[in-house]
Amino acid sequence: MDFVGRIRLTFLLLVTVLAGMALPTSTALPGDDDYRVLFSIDLEEAGLEYEGHGAEQELWGPIGIASTDDGTIWIGDGPSSRLLGYDLNGRFVAEIRLDAVVGMGDLDARGATVAILDIAAVQPSAVLVDTRTGSILTYPLPAEASLERGLSGIYLSPSLEVAAELEGGTTLVPVGSEANAVRYDANGTEVVLDAAGKAQAGAAAVGIGGDVVSLDVAGIPGSIGFVGAYGGNVYLTVDDVGQALDGEIIVDATVREISVSGKPVAQARIPMNEMVVHLPRPVTVGPSGQLLSAIPRDDRIDVVQLEKAAKATYLLTPADVSRAISIPEGYSFSYDSGMSASSSCVSRSTMGSTDWSYRSNSHYYNNTNINGSCTGRDKPSYFGSAGTYSSVSYKWGGFDSVFTFNYYMAPRTGRAGDTSRGATLSCAYGVDCSGFVSRVWQRTSKYGTSTLPNISYHIPLTWMQPYDIFNDSGSHVMLYRYSVSGGYYVSDSTTSYNYDRVVYRWISSSYASGFDTRRYNNVCVDY
């Protein structure tokens, strides 16, 4: 073991299809046949809302769906830090407020207990909620389960042992002072997730009961997630990754039902293309083995039952796969760096030093820095009382250097960060997503997500190198660091999940869906 109590799950990547292990296959188009709606939750009536509606902010909202043994469906309402419970007919059952939670990042359920991951807190924690009594227990996560080490989710075992998931679950870290080793348990059979995400198309794999099971995909193997087990079968989410003609990442997300003996049983498709926000936990296994999903829409959340099919189908075309691996024939780059020909290039090591200076920044903030009056300002959620905090705060429209940000903090009285939108406040200091990228790219003025394409060019997903970007024009941008476990480490300044600061984190391949992959025009060529 790398450290006490940590379980490093074995990587079992297969990049070739194992004969006889796949379901019969065909191509398919997404549609309503993939699910049936059980009930809908009106956003206004339920008091639900999405955050990040403004330009240059990433939209986010509910974090997912979970089911307790009594049949209650729980929706994790991230922006309001609460759980909303409904029966399978859509009747409202309960609201459980979690006001102490800074930023919900995931949820899971077993028996009558729901586990919540508070991922955005300065000290991340696991929060266990007894849905019968409403009692709440909070356990700080150990140091090895940090955001920087890939903290991504939470797992609650059948015996109610809790573990933090790193890199989508390829590593589990037990939580609690008397925590024992925790593994994914499918009715007594161990499930080991694979570190997928190799550049070639074909298949990924998992371990079930000591056997290697192939998971065929049409494109690049992406993230794999453990959903649960029922009736001797295991349910896993599998991302199949490609790239569209306009450069956006495409992810076909499915649930694979596999017997504990390793035989494929069925497949269901997650309607990701219909979701207006990303859900870290899009699927749960219901009390009778149903596959239940939540679809966030503009005015409601549809709770649906996914339809299982005996035949595996793929959405990605060969062209979608090829575009993620190589530049299409006849494609022409458009260079317009906005810099003189004599300007020196920017090395990736220089970019890395700037990135690190933001993330590793540590400063003392007085009460005025945190709570002082500043008309129109929304305070970053991670702040508590006066004290020392790491990183640089998110500020909408912000383009402050680390030096400038620290200069206006204690003993001075500038306000740290602003998560509101629509106006760049002179009384607050920090950096937003595109301002952070502009600084790392050594720009002397701020670019936005809609203008960063003017100083960068599209590249295939598998060409990404450190400090290239995932860009969603008009919404959000992230600095790519490297690929592992079917996902990506990124650095970004974000308000999603109430991080409200510059962070270094692991994201799944599904999270990157819809982003374009781009490279700075003036980066030094080092290959």
Note whether residue 331 is domain-resident: no
pTM listed for this prediction: 0.91
User: Does one domain contain both 60 and 209?
Assistant: yes
User: What pLDDT is recorded for position 526?
Assistant: 65
- Which is more confidently placed, 54 or 297? 297
Note whether residue 397 is domain-resident: yes
Note whether residue 335 is domain-resident: no
Boundary residue ending a domain (289, 323, 357): 323
User: What pLDDT is recorded for position 56?
Assistant: 85
Percent of the chain with pLDDT over 70: 88
Please, are residues 153 and 165 in contact by the beta-carbon 8 Å criterion? yes
User: Does one domain contain both 220 and 138?
Assistant: yes
pLDDT at 371 over 90: yes
User: Does one domain contain both 181 and 278?
Assistant: yes
Tell how far CA 452 is from the center of its chain. Answer: 23
Task: Indicate the number of domains in the chain.
Answer: 2
Boundary residue ending a domain (306, 323, 340): 323
**What is the b/e burial string over 342-366, where b = at least 16 CB atoms within 10 angstroms of the residue's CB?**
eeeebeeebbbebbebbbebebebb
User: Does one domain contain both 400 and 514?
Assistant: yes
> Tens of pLDDT along 152-193?
999 999 999 999 999 999 999 999 876 678 899 998 999 999
Boundary residue ending a domain (278, 308, 323): 323
Question: Whole-angstrom Cα distance, residue 418 to residue 374?
Answer: 9
Note whether residue 474 is domain-resident: yes
Q: Give first-to-last CA distance, the chain, whole Å.
A: 35
User: What pLDDT is recorded for position 197?
Assistant: 38
Note whether residue 257 is domain-resident: yes
User: What pLDDT is recorded for position 25?
Assistant: 35
pLDDT at 64 over 90: yes
Mean pLDDT of 342-352: 87
Q: What's phi and psi for 462, nearest 5 deg?
A: -75, -5
Structure confidence at residue 29 as a pLDDT band (50, 70, 90): very low
Note whether residue 525 is domain-resident: no
pLDDT at 341 over 80: no
Average pLDDT, the chain: 89
Q: What angle do CA 47, 98, 117 make, to 5 degrees?
A: 110
User: What pLDDT is recorded for position 344?
Assistant: 85
User: Does one domain contain both 476 and 406?
Assistant: yes
* Range with the poorest average pLDDT among 4-13, 74-83, 250-259, 319-328: 4-13
**Looking at residue 169, what DSSP letter applies?**
G
> Tens of pLDDT along 89-144?
999 999 999 999 999 999 999 999 999 999 999 999 999 999 999 999 999 999 99
Note whether residue 68 is domain-resident: yes
Q: What angle do CA 485, 491, 493 make, to 5 degrees?
A: 135
Mean pLDDT of 255-283: 96
Element (H, E) at 237: strand 233-243
Residue 37 lies in domain:
10-323
The neighbouring-strand residues paired with 250 are 242
pLDDT at 291 over 50: yes
Task: Decide: helix, strand or coil at residue 246.
Answer: coil
Please, are residues 282 and 237 in contact by the beta-carbon 8 Å criterion? yes
User: Does one domain contain both 80 and 146?
Assistant: yes
Structure confidence at residue 333 as a pLDDT band (50, 70, 90): low
User: Does one domain contain both 259 and 383?
Assistant: no
User: What pLDDT is recorded for position 28?
Assistant: 44
User: What pLDDT is recorded for position 31?
Assistant: 53
CA-wise closest residue to 324 among 454, 523, 216, 483: 483
As a three-state string, the secondary structure of 337-356 is CCCCCCCCCECHHHHHHHHH
* Range with the poorest average pLDDT among 311-320, 425-434, 490-499: 311-320
User: Does one domain contain both 206 and 261?
Assistant: yes
C-alpha distance from residue 470 to each of 333, 351, 478 (Å) = 17, 16, 5
User: Does one domain contain both 411 and 292?
Assistant: no
CA-wise closest residue to 175 among 150, 152, 154: 154
User: Does one domain contain both 309 and 453?
Assistant: no
Note whether residue 527 is domain-resident: no
Structure confidence at residue 326 as a pLDDT band (50, 70, 90): confident
* Domain containing residue 244: CATH number: 2.120.10
User: Does one domain contain both 359 and 478?
Assistant: yes
User: Does one domain contain both 284 and 378?
Assistant: no
Find tokens 């859900």 and name the residue: 279
* CA torsion angle 517 520 524 527 (round to 10): 20
